[in-house]
Amino acid sequence: NNVETPYTYEDYEEMVECLLSRQPHRPSIGIICGSGLMNLANKLEERYNVPYEKVPKFPVCTVEGHTGQFCFGTLKGKKVVMMQGRFHLYEGYPPWKVASPARVMKLMGVDTVIVTSSSGALNPAFKVGDIMVIMDHIGMPTVSGFNPLDGKNDERFGSRFVDMNKVYDEKLRNSTLKVAEEQRIAPFTRQGVYLMVGGPSYETPAEARYLRALGGDVVGMSTVPEVLAARHCGMRALGLSLITDIVTMDYGAAGAINHDDFLETAKWRAATMNDLVVGVVEKMDCE
Ligand code: R1P
């Protein structure tokens, strides 16, 4: 039987003990960096890196561009932990493992989680290089039985049933839009619905039309499990997604998409997106 047993509370404690013993910071903000957005960690001061493989039982990254380390430091005076690299369902990881970074962050003392990602636009008004503040999400895997909260619930994290009405913190979203105005990037900053698919295959035109009809503004293969686990244990969540391609809805459209294109586009707009995150962190009402 190949089915893995989810991490216990004690497993998480062991991971956190290791992470805190290897560096002096005690973060209150956690940031999970999406594809092509890892350079944000270069903005950290007094930085300490802890590679994932040093942390007992913690997964490793298998996707190109996902470095696979925790980066601790200060950002605009705030104590931050960043994850350079996340886990996806298509890597073969079960949902609880994909979402495990949120619980590690919680036990480290983090109360606000920022998740970034790159995604494809379904909304015809959106353009490559736009930044979307996630207002809400649709988790295709999570609504259909691939939920990180499946299995025995540990009340020390949160209760069995989780309210998902206000998942993405309104105050943080408004603050992000305000920072976007100040940084003069409001014309290409959007707000909308992130739709998660399992991947790793990109969408067929028929699937793209279907996902759009469901209400997705962008489609990606991450974010939702981490945010679900974060909300389950009472952390505030902010999600930002960089649009790195337009999802093809008809058969005549030119060009196939690939992950290298995603990374290339992310490079082009990553600095702007990272400046936005720094601006939001600066305004946060925590240490
Ligand atoms: C596709 O190219 C990959 O990039 C995005 C998609 O979700 C998918 O994993 O990665 P992040 O969501 O990790 O940014």
For residues 216 and 61, give the distance between their C-alpha atoms in angstroms, rounded to a whole number: 27
Ligand 1 lined by 88 (C-beta under 6 Å):
yes
For residues 231 and 262, give the distance between their C-alpha atoms in angstroms, rounded to a whole number: 28
Looking at residue 253, its pLDDT comes to 66
Q: How far is the CA of 62 from the centre of ligand 1 (A)?
A: 12
Relative to beta strand 29-33, strand 78-84 is parallel
Q: How far is the CA of 220 from the centre of ligand 1 (A)?
A: 6
* CA dihedral for 229, 143, 59, 260, sign (positive or negative): negative
Looking at residue 185, its pLDDT comes to 97
Looking at residue 268, its pLDDT comes to 83
Looking at residue 1, its pLDDT comes to 52
Amino acid at 19: L
* Ligand 1 atom at shortest distance from the alpha carbon of 35: 14
Looking at residue 267, its pLDDT comes to 80
Contact assessment for residue 130 and residue 210, using Cβ atoms and an 8 Å cutoff = no
Looking at residue 254, its pLDDT comes to 60
For residues 113 and 29, give the distance between their C-alpha atoms in angstroms, rounded to a whole number: 6
Ligand 1 lined by 117 (C-beta under 6 Å):
yes
Substitution site in 33, 196, 221, 244 for ligand 1 pocket (most atoms within 8 Å of beta carbon): 221
Contact assessment for residue 270 and residue 163, using Cβ atoms and an 8 Å cutoff = no
* Ligand 1 atom at shortest distance from the alpha carbon of 222: 12
Q: Burial-class residue 156 by CB neighbours within 10 Å (0-12, 13-18, 19+).
A: exposed
* Ligand 1 atom at shortest distance from the alpha carbon of 221: 7
Regions of the chain with pLDDT less than 70: 1-2, 253-256, 287
Ligand 1 lined by 79 (C-beta under 6 Å):
no
Looking at residue 287, its pLDDT comes to 60
The pTM of this model reads: 0.96
Q: What is the ipTM of this complex?
A: 0.98
How many Cα neighbours within 13 Å face the side chain of 259? 12
73 vs 41, 107, 131, 274, CA distance in Å?
9, 17, 25, 16
